[in-house]
Amino acid sequence: MNTFQEFLETVEESEKRERLVSIFSYIRKEFPELQEKVKWKQPMFTDHGTFIIGFSVSKGHISVGPERACLQKFQDDIKKAKYPLLKELFQIPWKEPVDFELLHKMIAYNIEDKKEHPGFWR
């Protein structure tokens, strides 16, 4: 699996696939400079070779991983959105709306915070 399309083809339920398409389309539109990668069977967006945000799916939710520093910075916003927050990611339950404003703030933060970062991870 090398492309977002190949990843999406593994998501069997059309409603879940459409939700992911809407998230990915939003990110492409708002941040056209980001590159799409699939690593470890997970779609992610990178900038100049450094990780910005990644996603995975499970039965009950979409996992969103923007790295721990970003999670810590936006933990109050994540809690306000009522998304479960874990150590390395937060979860968007399939039945809950996507907070696109929160995703936008997190991605913009990571792009700025990592603009001169030479590695993939912080």
Interval 41-70: pLDDT, tens: 999 999 999 999 999 999 999 999 999 999
Residue with tokens 């339950």: 93
Q: What share of the chain is helix, strand, coil (3-state, %, to 5)?
A: 40, 25, 35
User: By the 8 A CB rule, do 44 and 51 touch?
Assistant: yes
Give the pLDDT confidence score for residue 122 in this predicted structure. 82
pLDDT tens by residue, 64-101: 999 999 999 999 999 999 999 999 999 999 999 999 99
Q: Please give the model's pTM, rounded to 2 decimal places.
A: 0.94
Domain residue extents for the chain: 4-113
Fold entry, domain 4-113? Aspartate Aminotransferase, domain 1 (3.90.1150)
